[in-house]
Amino acid sequence: MGKTLAEKVWDEHVVRSAEGEPDLLFIDLHLIHEVTSPQAFDGLRLAGRQVRRPDLTLATEDHNVPTLDWDKPIADPVSKTQVDTLRRNAAEFGVRLHPLGDVEQGIVHVVGPQLGLTQPGMTIVCGDSHTSTHGAFGAIAFGIGTSEVEHVLATQTLMQAKPKTMAVTVNGSLPEGVTAKDLVLTLIAHTGTGGGQGYIVEYRGPAIEELSMEGRMTVCNMSIEWGAKAGMIAPDQTTFDYIEGKPEAPTGADWDAALEHWRSLRTDDDAEFDKEIVLDASEMTPFVTWGTNPGQGVPLGASVPSPDDFDEPNDKVATEKALEYMGLEAGTPMRDIKVDTVFVGSCTNGRIEDLRLAAEILQGHTVADGTRLLVVPGSVRVRLQAQEEGLDRVFLDAGAEWRGAGCSMCLGMNPDQLAPQERSASTSNRNFEGRQGKGGRTHLVSVPVAAATAIRGTLSSPADLTPIG
């Protein structure tokens, strides 16, 4: 029997396997940030250990760095301590760090791919659940806890039980104006937030193949939101074209050797998955969440559901609670929901393609009165690229705030937060209670919906906009 993509990559990284024990996996790339690494480094220090492979380790500052005044000392003491600690640890243990102010600084999951460090067939880990993003390149990539961070630092390996594999096949083509974000939100509403538990998921099918690398990253990014261990997509010409020429991409004979190997990284025709899901992209529409987990979503054209729409008692209660927290009435058309803040950014939708799309829609429009629009590039490179293309002018002319790079309002660890009961339309990945600020109410949306919502002040898609001139 053949092997799935996930099995191929897994098997290539087994350092040691023994009956009844988890596999010992070699880790090709370990990404680090300021929040989940301090105790791991301290653990090394207490035990007198070293970082085994600094050359396979990369650190950035992203989770709680400010997106304004980034050239001044960080005002929040806890954030400052974490950032300072990362800098000290990186220096002491010889780890490459891109600190605030550096041209390569940014969200760890944006920086890896843009440096060309994320490549097909790798194992990539980080103390962050959205590490699944890197699976878009055909890598096995997943988030780990702080003791595992320490384990990888010391040994460059992890003990892991082999997960099951699942295929999500998406047939057809996404209609005009419907994005990878809508696709994955639709999928999560379909499976529920626990549907992927215990699986490495491979996204495949024509609709997936048609996605850009940015779109694929958006899909893989949100794998964790339906419980999957990791999400991956087989590498193809789109992948190779994206990597070629990136700073850390192989060159010359190395490129040829790499390419030859990468082309073998696809699921064999006779391989079997433990589970399969099939979806049709051609029926998908802009999709938005109404509740407090990413599975609580509906098409933009639908209305807020009622607890009575659900059969399961648990779902009824969850719906009731979510509606109360979100301050929503069942039956309200989603398009009537007024939004205070629109956030374009995060490792889900903070790449250059996302900003181009937002600018294209905002061009010539202005942000609605009473609504603020925050545009936060995923990395300094993305910010510079956007400025080179004049996107910043479009944002500023529309009345948006054009910020520095980082996680920002995705999780509100820095000053970019929602006030209690403030409502946002956000291109990020989590709408949990309080995620974007205590009491804040989050609707997860795609980039086009975010941009159109900023212009109209209510949840909208570009189709709702009055043509200019």
Partner 1 sequence: MEPFTTHTGVGVPLRRSNVDTDQIIPAVYLKRVTRTGFEDGLFAAWRGDESFVLNQPEYAAGTVLVAGPDFGTGSSREHAVWALQNYGFKAVISARFADIFRGNSGKSGLLAAQVDEKVVQRLWDHLEQHPGATVTVDLESRTVRAGEGPEAIEDSFDIDDYTRWRLLEGLDDIGITLGHDADIAAYEATRPSWKPATQHA
**How many CA atoms does the CB half-sphere of 186 hold within 13 Å?**
23
**Residue 38 binding partner 1, by CB under 8 A:** yes
**Residue 357 binding ligand SF4, by CB under 6 A:** no
Min separation Cβ 378 and ligand SF4, Å: 7
Say how far apart CA 254 and CA 271 lie, in whole Å: 29
Say how far apart CA 339 and CA 417 lie, in whole Å: 15
Exactly one of 7, 56, 209, 415 binds partner 1 (CB under 8 A); that residue is: 56
Q: Are 174 and 184 in contact (CB under 8 A)?
A: no
**Residue 204 binding ligand SF4, by CB under 6 A:** no
Exactly one of 346, 349, 424, 446 binds ligand SF4 (CB under 6 A); that residue is: 346
Give start and end residues of each alpha helix (H) in 172-248. Answer: 180-191, 206-209, 213-221, 237-243
The interface partner of residue 410, options being partner 1, ligand SF4, none and the CB cut-off 5 to 8 Å by kind, is ligand SF4
Q: Are 87 and 59 in contact (CB under 8 A)?
A: no
Say how far apart CA 257 and CA 245 lie, in whole Å: 15
Exactly one of 9, 58, 207, 222 binds partner 1 (CB under 8 A); that residue is: 58
Give every CB contact of residue 420 below 8 A, 6+ residues apart in sequence: 437, 438, 439, 440
The phi-psi region of residue 458 (left if phi > 0; otherwise alpha if psi is between -120 and 50; otherwise beta) is beta
User: What single-letter amino acid sits at 297?
Assistant: G
The phi-psi region of residue 94 (left if phi > 0; otherwise alpha if psi is between -120 and 50; otherwise beta) is left
* Positions in 44-63 near ligand SF4 (CB under 6 A): 62-63
Min separation Cβ 442 and ligand SF4, Å: 12
Exactly one of 111, 144, 230, 410 binds ligand SF4 (CB under 6 A); that residue is: 410
The interface partner of residue 428, options being partner 1, ligand SF4, none and the CB cut-off 5 to 8 Å by kind, is ligand SF4
Q: At 56, list the tokens.
A: 């396979």
Exactly one of 75, 257, 419, 463 binds partner 1 (CB under 8 A); that residue is: 257
Exactly one of 428, 431, 436, 458 binds ligand SF4 (CB under 6 A); that residue is: 428
**Residue 39 binding partner 1, by CB under 8 A:** yes
**Using CB under 8 A as the criterion, which residues of the chain lie in contact with partner 1 when the complex forms?**
15-16, 24, 26, 28-29, 38-39, 42-43, 46-47, 49, 54-58, 78, 81-82, 85, 96, 116-117, 119, 122, 146-147, 150-151, 154-157, 159, 248-250, 254-255, 257-258, 261
**Using CB under 6 A as the criterion, which residues of the chain lie in contact with ligand SF4 when the complex forms?**
62-63, 107, 109, 128, 130, 346-347, 407, 410-411, 428-429
